[in-house]
A and B are shown apart, each in its own frame.
Chain A
Amino acid sequence: MLRYAFKNAFRRKNIAALSIIGIAIGVSLMTAMASLSATITDQTNRFAQQNLDSITVQQKGQLVFTSQINLTKLYNITVLDHIDAYSAQVVTVVQLGTGFVNPQLVGLNVDNDTRIGGPTSNIIDGRVFKKDNECIISKMGAEFLNLKIGENLTLYTPDSKMVNLTITGLYETATIITQMNIYTTLNTARMFKPGFSNDTYSVLLIKADDPANVKQIKNEIERIAEEEELNIEVILFEDQLQTITQYTSTINILVISISLIAGIAGGMSIVVAMLMSVIERLKEYATLKATGWQNTDVIKDILYESLIVTAVGGAVGFGIGLLYLGVVSAIFNIVLNPLQPIVIVQIILFVVGMGLAGGVYPAYKASKVSPVEILRGV
């Protein structure tokens, strides 16, 4: 029976090819999207784990790169209980080259940054910057910009002064979000911030001794801010996390909808293909019934044929999906999460579901063939 289905599943090469392509596109998208979304979710989670103990203090109602705070005025905050370390940063947005990419240029004190576990504590190649004309970028950024250690980054300040920064090292962080930052000294970053004195910063990053204490620290800071009339706000990583979670769940919804659309398209292609194939072969099904096949035998045969075609489409699509992933990870040099078994199970279910769903109507139609009617019209 399976043998019969195998021999006949690919009879009309072009029709079979069409539905294989339809299903392959669906499955390849599913494969690639599932892995990408798993990677993003995973990175977000790791990022979250690493940062649950971090607190950001910045000017009320401002964005990171428009915020201005005075560190001396925040002295009482930096000596609060349960604070392990803190690091103040000057953050600005710069244009690189054609202006195609607009990374953040962040000025920081290396010792302080290392203490809070910032990028300077994650140098994977070269060394941290020491002088004002030096900087570090991420490994991914270096590949993206096609720059190596020892080469220069050319930036322009708001008053059109050219600033050349030599790359001394490459850092790596858990998430794509901070991969495009350029880190340098506070002095250099201030050149891009007209009106910033030596005591002016964009943000104050605080590391709590325990994630459990961040709420308490926040309350304390807010109390001090009220007493001393400081124009600041406190952002916990938890609050940011919600935005990030929303972002990842949006991606997941996108993945699901793309898979669904691909599924419907693939399912339609198999219905059409099977229907065409069955209508062409009504005489054969009539003959088979005349020689002893039952309706259920006809149904089984068509479902098998449909499953065989979708299985081939699924296998091809899975291969193409892995190929996409290979290309993506090679181009962007990111390590993608391998496909989880659950994703493979999903793909298999999807393929089997499509095979069955696509075959049901044609199978029903063929099983209803009346041998007498069909064979009479010779």
Chain B
Amino acid sequence: MENSGDERKIEIKCENVSKVYKLGNSIVKALDNVNLTIMSGDYISIMGPSGSGKTTLLNIIGALDHPTSGRVYLDGYDITNLPERKLTFFRRNKIGFVFQAFYLIPTLTALDNVLTPIMPRGVKPADKERALMLLEMLGLKNRVHHKPGELSGGERQRVAIARALISDPPIILGDELTGELDSKTGQEIMDIIDRLNSELGKTIVIVTHDIKVAERAKIKLRMRDGRIIEDTGF
């Protein structure tokens, strides 16, 4: 973040981003004036207690949600007020989401689950090959035709990672992606995330409240009450 002489391009930028929820009479400031610049190839973790605004921030930079105020830029485009239809374009091409609860489709095989993001536009043989390649890369060569019910938690999360990679997006966002895994499996998943950054050059932003997970990142941020309070980047 502080490498100002950096030649890499800016992947994500938040300017004074706030998100306010109104619940009856009370107001919840989920995000409070967040400023954040993420360069291409960055590996960032955001740690903070539950309710500190991590998911809200991730959803906003992931083109899933709009801020109440401030501006959000993705790959140089101002996506702050884009309509849903246009946001989908960014989600499909720029972002790969990995969730805590995997969210795989139980009726589909691992292979088909990986292909779901591109199914609406038709799955070509090359796509299928890519999906198989990704599954193999993630150590699921023998699990291609298994359904999620037949897979372990770690395997499911690996399928979800392959799904996030199917469109070859530059950015991977992970929300508590080890939250439902035991610590050993969690570390294995984090090994994969490390490789996505170091070998494939993906920009990674992960949100967690697990310090061991957060420490994997090159840039470690902390959040509290909707603000980024510590910037330990180097």
Contact = CB atoms under 8 A, between A and B. Distances in A.
A1 interface: yes
B47 interface: no
A207 to B, nearest CB: 70
B120 A300 contact: yes
Contacts of A291: 91-92, 96-97, 116-117, 163-164
A8 B64 contact: no
Interface stretch (A213-221, A256-264, A368-376): A368-376
A1 B119 contact: yes
B103 A375 contact: yes
Nearest to A371: B64
B167 interface: yes
A292 B88 contact: yes
A341 to B, nearest CB: 33
A297 B103 CA distance: 18
Interface stretch (A16-24, A96-104, A281-289, A329-337): A281-289
A376 B107 contact: no
A162 B109 CA distance: 80
Nearest to A7: B107
Given A8-B107, A289-B88, A372-B65, A378 B59 contact: no
Given A300-B120, A371-B64, A294 B88 contact: yes
B40 interface: no
A157 interface: no
B64 A1 contact: no
Given A291-B164, A294-B85, A372-B59, A3 B103 contact: no
Q: Give the most central of A1, A376, A378: most B CB within 10 Å.
A: A378
Given A371-B64, A378-B101, A11 B120 contact: no
Interface in B104-127: 105, 107-108, 112, 116-120, 122-123
A293 B85 CA distance: 9
Contacts of A7: 107-108, 112
Contacts of B107: 7-8, 11
A288 B91 contact: no
Contacts of A297: 120
A236 B64 CA distance: 79
B37 interface: no
B103 A284 contact: yes
A129 to B, nearest CB: 71
What 9 pairs between A and B have smallest CB-CB spacing?
A292-B92, A297-B120, A287-B103, A291-B117, A292-B117, A372-B65, A294-B88, A4-B119, A292-B91
Interface of B: 55, 59, 62, 64-65, 84-85, 88, 91-93, 96-97, 99-101, 103, 105, 107-108, 112, 116-120, 122-123, 163-164, 167
18 contacts: A1-B119, A8-B105, A287-B99, A290-B64, A290-B91, A291-B116, A291-B163, A291-B164, A292-B91, A292-B117, A292-B167, A293-B116, A294-B85, A294-B88, A294-B120, A371-B64, A378-B100, A378-B101
